[in-house]
Amino acid sequence: MEDPGYPPTWHALSAAGAELHAVPVDRAGLNVAAGVAAAPRARLAFVTPSHQYPLGVTLSMGRRLELLAWARQAGAWIVEDDYASEFRYSGPPLAALQGLDGGERVIYVGTLNKALFPGLRLGYMVAPRSLAAALAKARQLIDRQPPTLTQAVLLDFMESGQFAAHVRRRRLAYRTQRDALAEALRDRLSHRLEIDVPDQGMHLMAFLKDGGDDVAVEAAAAARGVTARAIGPLYRQAPARPGLMLGFTGSAARSMAGGVARLAQAFADLEAGT
């Protein structure tokens, strides 16, 4: 698993009895060579290649091919969590691992939580044929009666073209909101934060330039009414780089400057010891 990575996935796999190995992430995504060296007999890799959680980096094409080659050679599986892949703001769409693989070693999963809303409780999976029967049986045991009416309505929504239109509108809006947040951060907090503006996803990373306590910043920001998720606690073995996850899709572009002003006040509160 990626390090840092998504804690619920770590906990779910651990609860299922998996022996987990944390693999460092750099600017090119999961370090495949480091993962193979640390766990040469691994049976599965879990990755978020389009927009790594939480760092927001994209798994490079070289790393994608390297990971696929490992899976084929080792007879292992890759779970590709392609969350927020719909929201790419520049360049062509990224090639999914599942598409590059030809459907042999990759289990592609996602939900509609971000493209639509979590209340739908709908997800999807594209699995290799060799696993389809076992996965369908497991799905029946987990939830025998999925919401067929909701799925039928969603199918109509997609087939009518409205889903694609909705995603296009959201993509344009989110890009505007991303740029507004990045501009406000540079204007008010460039002396404190290194801003990493992503080409994809729904949050950006702001790393603490002084290497300070991101958990303390998170608490101070919450006291000022700002949600800024510290990433330090998301690391397991790799050296932690203090930083804040800042979402930009839940607020209008015009409100970004006010939110960043409150975040600046939170930094001032920490300096003052309040």
**Would you write out the chain's pLDDT as a tens digit for each of its 274 residues?**
999 999 999 999 999 999 999 999 999 999 999 999 999 999 999 999 999 999 999 999 999 999 999 999 999 999 999 888 889 998 877 889 999 988 799 999 999 999 999 888 888 999 999 999 999 999 888 887 778 899 999 999 999 999 999 999 999 999 999 999 999 999 999 999 999 999 999 999 999 999 899 999 999 999 999 999 999 999 999 999 999 999 999 999 999 999 999 999 999 999 998 6
In angstroms, the CA 6 to CA 14 distance is: 13
Q: Given 126, 159, 192, which residue is the final one in a domain? A: 159
In angstroms, the CA 222 to CA 210 distance is: 20
Where helices occur in the chain by DSSP H, the ranges are: 7-15, 32-38, 61-74, 97-101, 129-142, 148-159, 162-189, 214-223, 256-272
Put simply, whether the predicted model's pTM sits higher than 0.85 gets the answer yes
- The answer on 101 and 29 residing in a single domain is yes
- The answer on 197 and 127 residing in a single domain is no
Position 166 in a domain = no
Q: Given 111, 126, 159, which residue is the final one in a domain? A: 159
Do residues 184 and 257 lie in contact, with contact meaning Cβ atoms separated by under 8 Å?
A: yes
Strand partners, 79: 46, 107
Position 59 in a domain = yes
Position 197 in a domain = yes
pLDDT of residue 103: 77
Contacts of 230 (CB under 8 A, 6+ apart): 214, 215, 217, 218, 242, 243, 244, 245
Contacts of 72 (CB under 8 A, 6+ apart): 104, 105
- The answer on 128 and 26 residing in a single domain is yes
Query: Quick one: how many helices (H) and strands (E) in the chain?
Result: 9, 11
Of the candidates 251, 210, 254, the residue with the CA atom closest to the CA atom of residue 228: 251
Q: SS3 of 26, please? A: strand
pLDDT of residue 83: 86
HSE-up of 1 (CA within 13 Å, CB side)?
24
Q: SS3 of 115, please? A: coil
In angstroms, the CA 156 to CA 221 distance is: 42
Residue 228, both tokens? 């800024």
Domain containing 125 — which CATH number? 3.40.640.10
- The answer on 22 and 141 residing in a single domain is yes
- The answer on 216 and 88 residing in a single domain is no
Q: Given 131, 159, 187, which residue is the final one in a domain? A: 159
- The answer on 135 and 75 residing in a single domain is yes
Q: What are phi and psi of 108, to 5 degrees?
A: -95, 125
pLDDT of residue 224: 97
pLDDT of residue 121: 87
pLDDT of residue 45: 97
- The answer on 19 and 145 residing in a single domain is yes
- Number of structural domains in the chain: 2
pLDDT of residue 71: 96
- The answer on 196 and 249 residing in a single domain is yes
Domain with 149 in it: 2-159
